[in-house]
A and B are shown apart, each in its own frame.
Chain A
Amino acid sequence: MGAIKTISNAVLGIIYEILFAIIIMATFFIITGMLILIVYKL
Protein backbone atom coordinates (compact mmCIF):
# COMPACT_ATOMS: atom_id res chain seq x y z
CA MET A 1 0.00 0.00 0.00
CA GLY A 2 2.85 2.37 0.90
CA ALA A 3 4.47 1.93 -2.50
CA ILE A 4 1.18 2.51 -4.35
CA LYS A 5 0.60 5.72 -2.37
CA THR A 6 4.14 6.93 -3.10
CA ILE A 7 3.75 6.29 -6.83
CA SER A 8 0.27 7.85 -7.03
CA ASN A 9 1.55 10.90 -5.13
CA ALA A 10 4.46 11.23 -7.55
CA VAL A 11 2.18 10.86 -10.60
CA LEU A 12 -0.23 13.45 -9.21
CA GLY A 13 2.75 15.70 -8.46
CA ILE A 14 3.95 15.47 -12.06
CA ILE A 15 0.44 16.26 -13.34
CA TYR A 16 0.23 19.26 -10.97
CA GLU A 17 3.61 20.56 -12.12
CA ILE A 18 2.73 20.23 -15.81
CA LEU A 19 -0.63 21.93 -15.19
CA PHE A 20 1.20 24.67 -13.28
CA ALA A 21 3.48 25.31 -16.27
CA ILE A 22 0.50 25.35 -18.65
CA ILE A 23 -1.43 27.75 -16.37
CA ILE A 24 1.55 30.15 -16.25
CA MET A 25 1.79 30.03 -20.04
CA ALA A 26 -1.96 30.59 -20.48
CA THR A 27 -1.95 33.45 -17.96
CA PHE A 28 0.82 35.26 -19.80
CA PHE A 29 -0.94 34.66 -23.11
CA ILE A 30 -4.03 36.38 -21.69
CA ILE A 31 -1.87 39.19 -20.23
CA THR A 32 -0.30 39.66 -23.69
CA GLY A 33 -3.76 40.09 -25.22
CA MET A 34 -4.81 42.48 -22.47
CA LEU A 35 -1.65 44.57 -22.86
CA ILE A 36 -2.25 44.83 -26.61
CA LEU A 37 -5.80 46.01 -25.91
CA ILE A 38 -4.67 48.55 -23.28
CA VAL A 39 -1.75 49.97 -25.29
CA TYR A 40 -3.66 50.28 -28.58
CA LYS A 41 -6.74 51.73 -26.85
CA LEU A 42 -4.54 54.34 -25.17
Chain B
Amino acid sequence: MILRPQVNDLKIIGFSLGKLICALGFIMLLPIAVGIIFNEANPIFDFLIGAEVCFILGILLTLFCRIHNDLSWMHGMIVVALAWLAAALLGAIPLFLSGHFASFLDACFESMSGFATTGLTLVKDLDHLSFTHNFWRHLTMFIGGQGIVVIALSVLMVKGSAGAFRIYVSEARDERVLPNVISTARFIWLVSIVYLVLGSIVLGLCGIFEGLSPKRAFFDAVCIFMAAFDTGGFTPHSQNVLYYHSFLIETVTISLMILGAINFNLHYHIWTGNRRELFKNLELRTLGITLLVTFIIVVVDLLKWDLYPQTVALFRKGFYQLISAHTGTGYSNLYSLQFIREWGNLSLVGIITAMGLGGSICSTTGGIKALRVGVIFKGLIHEVKEIMLPESSVLQQKIHHLKETVLEDKHVRVAVVTTLLYFALYFAGAICGMFFGYPFLDSLFESTSAAANVGLSCGITNPSMPGLLKGIYMLQMWAGRLEFISIFVLGGFIVAAIKGKK
Protein backbone atom coordinates (compact mmCIF):
# COMPACT_ATOMS: atom_id res chain seq x y z
CA MET B 1 0.00 0.00 0.00
CA ILE B 2 1.33 3.45 -0.82
CA LEU B 3 0.19 6.57 1.02
CA ARG B 4 -0.79 9.78 -0.70
CA PRO B 5 1.67 12.60 0.17
CA GLN B 6 0.38 15.20 2.63
CA VAL B 7 0.39 18.98 2.18
CA ASN B 8 3.27 19.15 4.66
CA ASP B 9 5.38 16.92 2.39
CA LEU B 10 4.85 19.35 -0.48
CA LYS B 11 5.68 22.28 1.80
CA ILE B 12 8.93 20.69 3.01
CA ILE B 13 9.98 20.00 -0.59
CA GLY B 14 8.89 23.45 -1.80
CA PHE B 15 10.71 25.26 1.03
CA SER B 16 14.09 23.59 0.37
CA LEU B 17 13.63 23.87 -3.39
CA GLY B 18 12.94 27.59 -2.98
CA LYS B 19 16.21 28.02 -1.07
CA LEU B 20 18.16 26.19 -3.77
CA ILE B 21 16.56 28.32 -6.50
CA CYS B 22 17.53 31.47 -4.57
CA ALA B 23 21.11 30.13 -4.43
CA LEU B 24 20.99 29.73 -8.21
CA GLY B 25 19.84 33.34 -8.50
CA PHE B 26 22.91 34.52 -6.56
CA ILE B 27 25.18 32.40 -8.77
CA MET B 28 23.59 33.96 -11.86
CA LEU B 29 24.87 37.35 -10.71
CA LEU B 30 28.53 36.22 -11.05
CA PRO B 31 28.72 36.46 -14.88
CA ILE B 32 27.72 40.13 -14.55
CA ALA B 33 31.26 40.82 -13.29
CA VAL B 34 32.59 39.31 -16.52
CA GLY B 35 30.16 41.50 -18.49
CA ILE B 36 31.54 44.59 -16.74
CA ILE B 37 35.19 43.57 -17.37
CA PHE B 38 34.55 42.93 -21.07
CA ASN B 39 32.21 45.91 -21.43
CA GLU B 40 29.19 43.87 -22.57
CA ALA B 41 25.98 45.71 -21.65
CA ASN B 42 23.26 43.57 -23.24
CA PRO B 43 24.35 40.23 -21.74
CA ILE B 44 24.34 41.84 -18.27
CA PHE B 45 20.59 42.45 -18.66
CA ASP B 46 20.08 38.82 -19.71
CA PHE B 47 21.59 37.70 -16.41
CA LEU B 48 19.68 40.28 -14.38
CA ILE B 49 16.45 38.91 -15.90
CA GLY B 50 17.51 35.32 -15.19
CA ALA B 51 18.48 36.12 -11.58
CA GLU B 52 15.26 38.06 -11.05
CA VAL B 53 13.15 35.09 -12.19
CA CYS B 54 15.12 32.84 -9.79
CA PHE B 55 14.64 35.21 -6.86
CA ILE B 56 10.91 35.68 -7.50
CA LEU B 57 10.32 31.93 -7.83
CA GLY B 58 12.60 31.03 -4.92
CA ILE B 59 11.15 33.64 -2.55
CA LEU B 60 7.56 32.72 -3.48
CA LEU B 61 8.28 29.04 -2.80
CA THR B 62 9.95 29.72 0.55
CA LEU B 63 7.13 32.09 1.62
CA PHE B 64 4.23 29.84 0.62
CA CYS B 65 5.91 26.66 1.86
CA ARG B 66 7.45 28.03 5.07
CA ILE B 67 7.79 25.10 7.47
CA HIS B 68 10.36 24.07 10.07
CA ASN B 69 10.23 20.28 9.69
CA ASP B 70 13.51 18.57 8.76
CA LEU B 71 13.86 16.69 5.47
CA SER B 72 13.32 12.93 5.36
CA TRP B 73 15.20 10.74 2.85
CA MET B 74 12.22 10.93 0.47
CA HIS B 75 12.03 14.73 0.68
CA GLY B 76 15.80 15.10 0.19
CA MET B 77 15.81 12.98 -2.94
CA ILE B 78 12.80 14.74 -4.47
CA VAL B 79 14.29 18.17 -3.71
CA VAL B 80 17.53 17.23 -5.46
CA ALA B 81 15.79 15.71 -8.51
CA LEU B 82 13.60 18.81 -8.88
CA ALA B 83 16.46 21.22 -8.14
CA TRP B 84 18.46 19.86 -11.09
CA LEU B 85 15.46 20.21 -13.38
CA ALA B 86 14.84 23.73 -12.11
CA ALA B 87 18.53 24.61 -12.60
CA ALA B 88 18.40 23.41 -16.21
CA LEU B 89 15.22 25.41 -16.92
CA LEU B 90 16.19 28.61 -15.11
CA GLY B 91 19.85 28.47 -16.18
CA ALA B 92 18.61 28.38 -19.78
CA ILE B 93 16.96 31.82 -19.53
CA PRO B 94 20.10 33.97 -20.06
CA LEU B 95 21.39 31.51 -22.65
CA PHE B 96 18.15 31.74 -24.64
CA LEU B 97 18.19 35.54 -24.39
CA SER B 98 21.67 35.54 -26.00
CA GLY B 99 20.03 34.72 -29.36
CA HIS B 100 22.51 31.91 -30.04
CA PHE B 101 19.97 29.12 -29.58
CA ALA B 102 17.35 28.01 -32.09
CA SER B 103 14.74 27.40 -29.37
CA PHE B 104 14.26 27.43 -25.59
CA LEU B 105 14.59 23.62 -25.71
CA ASP B 106 18.09 24.02 -27.15
CA ALA B 107 18.99 26.47 -24.38
CA CYS B 108 17.62 24.00 -21.78
CA PHE B 109 19.70 21.24 -23.41
CA GLU B 110 22.82 23.41 -23.12
CA SER B 111 22.01 24.30 -19.53
CA MET B 112 21.35 20.67 -18.54
CA SER B 113 24.52 19.63 -20.36
CA GLY B 114 26.42 22.24 -18.34
CA PHE B 115 24.99 21.45 -14.92
CA ALA B 116 25.32 17.69 -15.49
CA THR B 117 28.95 18.28 -16.65
CA THR B 118 28.24 16.56 -19.94
CA GLY B 119 29.55 18.93 -22.58
CA LEU B 120 27.26 18.16 -25.53
CA THR B 121 26.40 21.51 -27.06
CA LEU B 122 23.70 23.00 -29.30
CA VAL B 123 24.93 26.59 -29.35
CA LYS B 124 25.03 28.26 -32.76
CA ASP B 125 28.04 30.35 -33.77
CA LEU B 126 29.87 29.75 -30.47
CA ASP B 127 32.90 31.74 -31.62
CA HIS B 128 30.80 34.92 -31.54
CA LEU B 129 29.00 34.25 -28.25
CA SER B 130 29.58 37.01 -25.68
CA PHE B 131 32.21 36.49 -22.97
CA THR B 132 29.48 36.79 -20.33
CA HIS B 133 27.31 34.00 -21.77
CA ASN B 134 30.38 31.89 -22.47
CA PHE B 135 31.50 32.28 -18.86
CA TRP B 136 28.02 31.20 -17.70
CA ARG B 137 28.21 28.01 -19.81
CA HIS B 138 31.44 27.08 -18.04
CA LEU B 139 30.25 28.22 -14.64
CA THR B 140 27.28 25.85 -14.90
CA MET B 141 29.83 23.05 -15.24
CA PHE B 142 31.76 24.23 -12.19
CA ILE B 143 28.52 24.49 -10.18
CA GLY B 144 27.19 21.16 -11.46
CA GLY B 145 30.48 19.37 -10.89
CA GLN B 146 30.68 20.37 -7.24
CA GLY B 147 26.92 19.87 -6.92
CA ILE B 148 24.12 22.40 -6.58
CA VAL B 149 23.43 21.06 -3.09
CA VAL B 150 27.08 21.36 -2.09
CA ILE B 151 26.93 25.07 -2.94
CA ALA B 152 23.74 25.56 -1.01
CA LEU B 153 25.21 23.74 1.97
CA SER B 154 28.41 25.80 1.82
CA VAL B 155 26.72 29.16 1.49
CA LEU B 156 23.06 29.18 2.44
CA MET B 157 22.09 26.27 4.67
CA VAL B 158 24.66 26.77 7.38
CA LYS B 159 22.77 24.57 9.81
CA GLY B 160 24.26 21.05 9.78
CA SER B 161 21.01 19.13 10.13
CA ALA B 162 20.20 15.53 9.26
CA GLY B 163 18.20 16.92 6.34
CA ALA B 164 21.32 18.60 5.00
CA PHE B 165 23.07 15.22 5.00
CA ARG B 166 20.12 13.62 3.20
CA ILE B 167 20.06 16.08 0.32
CA TYR B 168 23.87 15.87 0.09
CA VAL B 169 23.72 12.07 -0.33
CA SER B 170 20.77 12.35 -2.74
CA GLU B 171 23.02 14.27 -5.14
CA ALA B 172 24.86 11.03 -6.01
CA ARG B 173 27.54 11.51 -3.36
CA ASP B 174 27.87 8.26 -1.49
CA GLU B 175 30.61 9.39 0.85
CA ARG B 176 31.16 12.15 3.38
CA VAL B 177 34.72 13.44 3.52
CA LEU B 178 34.38 14.84 7.05
CA PRO B 179 31.93 13.88 9.83
CA ASN B 180 29.98 17.12 9.32
CA VAL B 181 28.28 17.47 5.96
CA ILE B 182 28.74 21.26 5.90
CA SER B 183 32.51 20.82 6.46
CA THR B 184 32.49 18.21 3.69
CA ALA B 185 30.82 20.68 1.30
CA ARG B 186 33.34 23.36 2.24
CA PHE B 187 36.29 20.98 1.77
CA ILE B 188 35.01 20.11 -1.73
CA TRP B 189 35.03 23.84 -2.47
CA LEU B 190 38.48 24.31 -0.97
CA VAL B 191 39.96 21.65 -3.29
CA SER B 192 38.23 23.18 -6.31
CA ILE B 193 39.22 26.76 -5.52
CA VAL B 194 42.88 25.86 -4.87
CA TYR B 195 43.07 24.02 -8.20
CA LEU B 196 41.07 26.81 -9.90
CA VAL B 197 43.77 29.32 -8.98
CA LEU B 198 46.70 27.01 -9.87
CA GLY B 199 45.13 25.60 -13.04
CA SER B 200 44.00 28.98 -14.37
CA ILE B 201 47.45 30.51 -13.88
CA VAL B 202 49.19 27.60 -15.65
CA LEU B 203 46.65 27.50 -18.50
CA GLY B 204 46.75 31.30 -18.82
CA LEU B 205 50.54 31.26 -19.17
CA CYS B 206 50.25 28.45 -21.74
CA GLY B 207 47.75 30.57 -23.69
CA ILE B 208 50.11 33.57 -23.68
CA PHE B 209 52.97 31.28 -24.75
CA GLU B 210 50.81 30.08 -27.66
CA GLY B 211 50.19 33.67 -28.78
CA LEU B 212 46.87 34.67 -27.21
CA SER B 213 46.44 38.14 -25.69
CA PRO B 214 46.74 38.08 -21.85
CA LYS B 215 43.04 38.99 -21.39
CA ARG B 216 41.86 36.30 -23.81
CA ALA B 217 44.38 33.78 -22.46
CA PHE B 218 43.22 34.12 -18.85
CA PHE B 219 39.52 34.14 -19.80
CA ASP B 220 40.00 30.93 -21.77
CA ALA B 221 42.13 29.53 -18.92
CA VAL B 222 39.41 30.02 -16.30
CA CYS B 223 36.75 28.58 -18.63
CA ILE B 224 38.86 25.58 -19.64
CA PHE B 225 39.87 24.91 -16.05
CA MET B 226 36.24 24.89 -14.90
CA ALA B 227 35.28 22.48 -17.65
CA ALA B 228 38.36 20.25 -17.38
CA PHE B 229 38.59 19.87 -13.60
CA ASP B 230 34.85 19.35 -13.35
CA THR B 231 35.09 16.87 -16.20
CA GLY B 232 32.61 18.91 -18.22
CA GLY B 233 33.84 19.44 -21.75
CA PHE B 234 32.70 22.90 -22.86
CA THR B 235 35.30 25.23 -24.36
CA PRO B 236 34.94 28.87 -25.41
CA HIS B 237 35.54 27.87 -29.06
CA SER B 238 33.56 25.80 -31.53
CA GLN B 239 36.55 23.60 -32.37
CA ASN B 240 36.96 22.52 -28.75
CA VAL B 241 40.60 21.99 -27.65
CA LEU B 242 41.58 21.52 -31.30
CA TYR B 243 41.28 25.33 -31.63
CA TYR B 244 44.60 25.83 -29.81
CA HIS B 245 46.64 23.18 -31.71
CA SER B 246 48.82 23.13 -28.61
CA PHE B 247 50.52 20.08 -27.11
CA LEU B 248 51.21 22.17 -24.00
CA ILE B 249 47.53 22.97 -23.38
CA GLU B 250 46.61 19.35 -24.12
CA THR B 251 49.05 18.03 -21.47
CA VAL B 252 47.80 20.52 -18.86
CA THR B 253 44.17 19.57 -19.57
CA ILE B 254 45.06 15.85 -19.31
CA SER B 255 46.46 16.53 -15.80
CA LEU B 256 43.34 18.48 -14.85
CA MET B 257 41.05 15.73 -16.13
CA ILE B 258 42.96 13.15 -14.03
CA LEU B 259 42.78 15.37 -10.94
CA GLY B 260 39.05 15.93 -11.52
CA ALA B 261 38.41 12.21 -11.74
CA ILE B 262 39.86 11.60 -8.26
CA ASN B 263 37.46 11.04 -5.35
CA PHE B 264 37.19 14.15 -3.09
CA ASN B 265 37.58 11.81 -0.13
CA LEU B 266 40.91 10.67 -1.55
CA HIS B 267 41.94 14.32 -2.05
CA TYR B 268 41.27 14.79 1.66
CA HIS B 269 43.42 11.79 2.64
CA ILE B 270 46.30 12.95 0.43
CA TRP B 271 46.04 16.54 1.65
CA THR B 272 46.14 15.42 5.28
CA GLY B 273 49.30 13.34 4.94
CA ASN B 274 47.97 9.88 4.04
CA ARG B 275 49.72 9.83 0.67
CA ARG B 276 50.16 6.06 0.47
CA GLU B 277 46.42 5.89 -0.16
CA LEU B 278 47.17 7.06 -3.70
CA PHE B 279 48.75 3.68 -4.48
CA LYS B 280 46.65 1.36 -2.29
CA ASN B 281 43.19 2.61 -3.18
CA LEU B 282 41.03 0.03 -4.98
CA GLU B 283 39.22 2.72 -6.95
CA LEU B 284 42.39 4.26 -8.40
CA ARG B 285 43.88 0.84 -9.14
CA THR B 286 40.70 -0.17 -10.99
CA LEU B 287 40.75 3.14 -12.87
CA GLY B 288 44.35 2.48 -13.91
CA ILE B 289 43.57 -1.05 -15.12
CA THR B 290 40.44 -0.09 -17.10
CA LEU B 291 42.31 2.87 -18.59
CA LEU B 292 45.13 0.58 -19.71
CA VAL B 293 42.78 -2.06 -21.18
CA THR B 294 40.65 0.44 -23.13
CA PHE B 295 43.81 2.27 -24.25
CA ILE B 296 45.29 -0.92 -25.71
CA ILE B 297 41.99 -1.61 -27.55
CA VAL B 298 41.95 1.90 -29.02
CA VAL B 299 45.64 2.05 -29.91
CA VAL B 300 45.80 -1.40 -31.53
CA ASP B 301 42.85 -0.47 -33.76
CA LEU B 302 44.29 2.95 -34.64
CA LEU B 303 47.60 1.32 -35.52
CA LYS B 304 45.82 -1.33 -37.59
CA TRP B 305 44.37 1.44 -39.77
CA ASP B 306 47.75 3.23 -39.78
CA LEU B 307 46.10 6.50 -38.73
CA TYR B 308 48.76 7.90 -36.41
CA PRO B 309 52.03 6.03 -36.99
CA GLN B 310 54.15 8.28 -34.71
CA THR B 311 54.27 8.18 -30.90
CA VAL B 312 53.46 11.86 -30.33
CA ALA B 313 50.57 11.87 -32.82
CA LEU B 314 49.14 8.63 -31.45
CA PHE B 315 49.42 9.91 -27.87
CA ARG B 316 47.86 13.27 -28.74
CA LYS B 317 44.93 11.73 -30.60
CA GLY B 318 44.47 8.28 -29.07
CA PHE B 319 45.29 8.88 -25.41
CA TYR B 320 43.69 12.33 -25.34
CA GLN B 321 40.30 11.10 -26.55
CA LEU B 322 40.53 8.08 -24.25
CA ILE B 323 41.40 9.95 -21.03
CA SER B 324 38.76 12.51 -21.94
CA ALA B 325 36.21 9.70 -22.38
CA HIS B 326 37.24 7.75 -19.28
CA THR B 327 37.18 10.77 -16.98
CA GLY B 328 33.87 11.87 -18.49
CA THR B 329 35.25 15.19 -19.69
CA GLY B 330 34.51 15.19 -23.38
CA TYR B 331 37.39 17.37 -24.54
CA SER B 332 38.44 16.47 -28.03
CA ASN B 333 41.20 17.47 -30.42
CA LEU B 334 39.41 15.77 -33.33
CA TYR B 335 36.46 16.83 -35.46
CA SER B 336 33.27 14.97 -34.45
CA LEU B 337 32.95 13.22 -37.79
CA GLN B 338 36.52 11.92 -37.61
CA PHE B 339 35.35 9.42 -35.00
CA ILE B 340 32.91 7.87 -37.45
CA ARG B 341 34.69 8.42 -40.76
CA GLU B 342 38.31 7.72 -39.76
CA TRP B 343 38.37 5.63 -36.59
CA GLY B 344 37.60 1.92 -36.82
CA ASN B 345 34.72 0.24 -35.01
CA LEU B 346 37.04 -1.39 -32.45
CA SER B 347 38.52 1.92 -31.33
CA LEU B 348 35.00 3.37 -31.10
CA VAL B 349 34.01 0.43 -28.88
CA GLY B 350 37.08 1.19 -26.72
CA ILE B 351 36.01 4.83 -26.36
CA ILE B 352 32.37 3.85 -25.65
CA THR B 353 33.56 1.39 -22.96
CA ALA B 354 35.76 4.05 -21.37
CA MET B 355 32.87 6.56 -21.42
CA GLY B 356 30.53 4.02 -19.85
CA LEU B 357 32.95 3.13 -17.04
CA GLY B 358 33.62 6.70 -15.88
CA GLY B 359 35.85 7.96 -13.05
CA SER B 360 35.58 7.89 -9.26
CA ILE B 361 32.69 7.96 -6.85
CA CYS B 362 32.33 11.32 -5.04
CA SER B 363 34.15 13.12 -7.85
CA THR B 364 32.81 15.24 -10.68
CA THR B 365 32.70 12.38 -13.19
CA GLY B 366 29.73 10.39 -14.47
CA GLY B 367 29.28 6.79 -15.59
CA ILE B 368 29.34 3.50 -13.70
CA LYS B 369 32.42 4.53 -11.64
CA ALA B 370 35.64 2.63 -10.95
CA LEU B 371 34.81 1.65 -7.36
CA ARG B 372 31.71 -0.26 -8.50
CA VAL B 373 33.72 -2.03 -11.19
CA GLY B 374 36.37 -2.90 -8.59
CA VAL B 375 33.79 -4.18 -6.11
CA ILE B 376 32.11 -6.36 -8.78
CA PHE B 377 35.50 -7.76 -9.81
CA LYS B 378 36.47 -8.48 -6.19
CA GLY B 379 33.06 -10.11 -5.67
CA LEU B 380 33.70 -12.32 -8.69
CA ILE B 381 37.10 -13.37 -7.33
CA HIS B 382 35.45 -14.13 -3.98
CA GLU B 383 32.85 -16.37 -5.68
CA VAL B 384 35.53 -18.29 -7.60
CA LYS B 385 37.63 -18.75 -4.45
CA GLU B 386 34.60 -20.00 -2.52
CA ILE B 387 33.90 -22.65 -5.16
CA MET B 388 37.51 -23.80 -5.21
CA LEU B 389 38.01 -24.04 -1.43
CA PRO B 390 36.59 -26.83 0.80
CA GLU B 391 32.98 -26.23 1.91
CA SER B 392 33.97 -25.97 5.57
CA SER B 393 36.35 -23.08 4.97
CA VAL B 394 35.33 -19.50 5.78
CA LEU B 395 36.55 -16.93 3.30
CA GLN B 396 36.72 -13.19 3.83
CA GLN B 397 37.34 -10.83 0.93
CA LYS B 398 38.70 -7.41 1.86
CA ILE B 399 38.85 -4.27 -0.20
CA HIS B 400 40.92 -1.18 0.46
CA HIS B 401 39.10 2.04 -0.22
CA LEU B 402 40.34 4.69 2.22
CA LYS B 403 40.26 1.95 4.87
CA GLU B 404 40.19 -1.85 4.97
CA THR B 405 36.61 -3.07 4.56
CA VAL B 406 35.23 -6.59 4.46
CA LEU B 407 33.40 -7.10 1.19
CA GLU B 408 29.78 -8.03 1.85
CA ASP B 409 27.08 -9.32 -0.48
CA LYS B 410 25.16 -6.06 -0.19
CA HIS B 411 28.15 -4.07 -1.54
CA VAL B 412 28.32 -6.28 -4.62
CA ARG B 413 24.53 -6.24 -5.04
CA VAL B 414 24.31 -2.42 -4.99
CA ALA B 415 27.25 -2.15 -7.41
CA VAL B 416 25.69 -4.68 -9.82
CA VAL B 417 22.24 -3.05 -9.71
CA THR B 418 23.65 0.42 -10.42
CA THR B 419 25.83 -0.95 -13.22
CA LEU B 420 22.85 -2.70 -14.82
CA LEU B 421 20.81 0.51 -14.59
CA TYR B 422 23.58 2.40 -16.41
CA PHE B 423 23.71 -0.30 -19.11
CA ALA B 424 19.92 -0.03 -19.49
CA LEU B 425 20.20 3.75 -19.80
CA TYR B 426 22.99 3.53 -22.41
CA PHE B 427 21.09 1.01 -24.53
CA ALA B 428 17.70 2.75 -24.14
CA GLY B 429 19.25 5.92 -25.58
CA ALA B 430 20.90 3.92 -28.37
CA ILE B 431 17.54 2.35 -29.31
CA CYS B 432 15.94 5.83 -29.40
CA GLY B 433 18.77 7.04 -31.65
CA MET B 434 18.20 4.09 -33.98
CA PHE B 435 14.48 4.94 -34.07
CA PHE B 436 15.43 8.31 -35.52
CA GLY B 437 17.49 6.61 -38.22
CA TYR B 438 21.04 6.77 -36.86
CA PRO B 439 23.30 3.67 -37.12
CA PHE B 440 23.66 1.51 -33.99
CA LEU B 441 27.26 2.38 -33.13
CA ASP B 442 26.71 6.12 -33.62
CA SER B 443 23.57 5.98 -31.47
CA LEU B 444 25.31 3.99 -28.73
CA PHE B 445 28.26 6.41 -28.80
CA GLU B 446 26.07 9.49 -28.40
CA SER B 447 23.73 7.86 -25.88
CA THR B 448 26.62 6.67 -23.66
CA SER B 449 28.21 10.09 -23.96
CA ALA B 450 25.00 11.76 -22.72
CA ALA B 451 24.14 9.25 -19.98
CA ALA B 452 27.68 9.01 -18.60
CA ASN B 453 27.97 12.83 -18.74
CA VAL B 454 30.96 12.74 -21.08
CA GLY B 455 30.26 15.08 -23.99
CA LEU B 456 32.20 13.50 -26.86
CA SER B 457 30.09 13.54 -29.99
CA CYS B 458 30.14 11.62 -33.23
CA GLY B 459 28.04 14.31 -34.89
CA ILE B 460 24.47 13.38 -33.89
CA THR B 461 24.14 16.26 -31.41
CA ASN B 462 23.51 19.41 -33.40
CA PRO B 463 20.74 22.05 -33.49
CA SER B 464 18.94 20.25 -36.33
CA MET B 465 18.58 16.91 -34.51
CA PRO B 466 14.99 15.81 -33.66
CA GLY B 467 13.47 17.65 -30.68
CA LEU B 468 12.38 14.40 -29.02
CA LEU B 469 15.95 13.07 -29.14
CA LYS B 470 17.15 16.30 -27.48
CA GLY B 471 14.63 15.65 -24.70
CA ILE B 472 15.76 12.02 -24.35
CA TYR B 473 19.42 13.03 -24.09
CA MET B 474 18.47 15.64 -21.46
CA LEU B 475 16.72 12.95 -19.43
CA GLN B 476 19.76 10.71 -19.79
CA MET B 477 22.09 13.46 -18.55
CA TRP B 478 19.78 14.12 -15.58
CA ALA B 479 19.42 10.43 -14.65
CA GLY B 480 23.11 9.70 -15.19
CA ARG B 481 24.26 12.63 -13.03
CA LEU B 482 21.94 11.81 -10.12
CA GLU B 483 22.54 8.05 -10.37
CA PHE B 484 18.87 7.07 -10.66
CA ILE B 485 17.65 6.74 -7.07
CA SER B 486 16.49 10.37 -6.66
CA ILE B 487 14.64 10.12 -9.97
CA PHE B 488 12.98 6.82 -9.03
CA VAL B 489 11.87 8.36 -5.73
CA LEU B 490 10.45 11.37 -7.61
CA GLY B 491 8.58 8.95 -9.91
CA GLY B 492 7.30 7.03 -6.88
CA PHE B 493 6.15 10.29 -5.28
CA ILE B 494 4.16 11.23 -8.38
CA VAL B 495 2.57 7.75 -8.50
CA ALA B 496 1.73 8.01 -4.78
CA ALA B 497 0.15 11.43 -5.35
CA ILE B 498 -2.11 9.93 -8.03
CA LYS B 499 -2.81 6.43 -6.75
CA GLY B 500 -1.90 6.53 -3.05
CA LYS B 501 -4.44 6.08 -0.24
CA LYS B 502 -5.36 9.02 1.99
For B262, what are the chain A residues with a Cβ–Cβ distance below 8 Å?
A: 17
Q: Which of A6, A13, A24, A32 contacts B299 (CB 8 A)?
A: A32
CA–CA, A17 to B259, complex, Å?
7
Query: Restricting to A5-35, which residues have a CB under 8 Å from any CB of B?
Result: 6, 9-10, 12-14, 16-18, 20-22, 24-25, 28-29, 31-33, 35
CA–CA, A35 to B309, complex, Å?
11
CA–CA, A17 to B304, complex, Å?
35
CA–CA, A25 to B304, complex, Å?
23
For A39, what are the chain B residues with a Cβ–Cβ distance below 8 Å?
A: 300, 303-304
List the B residue with the shortest CB-CB distance to A24: B258
Q: Does B428 sit within 8 A of A, measured CB to CB?
A: no
Q: Are A32 and B318 in contact (CB under 8 A)?
A: yes
> With A9-B272, A13-B275, A16-B278 given, is the CB distance from A36 to B314 under 8 Å?
yes
Q: Are B314 and A25 in contact (CB under 8 A)?
A: no
Q: Does B10 sit within 8 A of A, measured CB to CB?
A: no
Interface size class of B (residues with CB under 8 A): 20 to 34
For B288, what are the chain A residues with a Cβ–Cβ distance below 8 Å?
A: 24
Query: Restricting to B270-314, which residues have a CB under 8 Å from any CB of A?
Result: 270-273, 275, 278, 288, 291-292, 295-296, 299-300, 303-304, 309-311, 314
B250-278 vs A, CB cutoff 8 Å, 1 = contact: the mask equals 01001110110010000100111101001
Q: Which of A9, A18, A20, A24 contacts B271 (CB 8 A)?
A: A9
For B258, what are the chain A residues with a Cβ–Cβ distance below 8 Å?
A: 20-21, 24-25
B379-402 vs A, CB cutoff 8 Å, 1 = contact: the mask equals 000000000000000000000000
Q: Are B255 and A31 in contact (CB under 8 A)?
A: no
Q: Are B315 and A29 in contact (CB under 8 A)?
A: yes
> With A13-B271, A22-B255, A28-B319 given, is the CB distance from A36 to B295 under 8 Å?
no
Q: Does B194 sit within 8 A of A, measured CB to CB?
A: yes
CA–CA, A35 to B255, complex, Å?
22
> With A13-B272, A13-B275, A14-B194 given, is the CB distance from A21 to B309 under 8 Å?
no
Q: Are B296 and A35 in contact (CB under 8 A)?
A: yes
CA–CA, A13 to B484, complex, Å?
33
Q: Are A32 and B311 in contact (CB under 8 A)?
A: yes
B194: shortest Cβ distance to chain A, in Å?
7
For B323, what are the chain A residues with a Cβ–Cβ distance below 8 Å?
A: 28
Q: What are 14 residue pairs bridging A and B, where the CB atoms are less than 8 Å apart in the complex?
A: A6-B272, A10-B271, A17-B270, A21-B254, A28-B319, A29-B315, A32-B314, A32-B319, A35-B296, A36-B314, A39-B300, A39-B303, A39-B304, A40-B309
Q: Which residues of A contact B (CB under 8 A)?
A: 6, 9-10, 12-14, 16-18, 20-22, 24-25, 28-29, 31-33, 35-36, 39-40
Q: Which residues of B contact A (CB under 8 A)?
A: 194-195, 198, 251, 254-256, 258-259, 262, 267, 270-273, 275, 278, 288, 291-292, 295-296, 299-300, 303-304, 309-311, 314-315, 318-319, 323
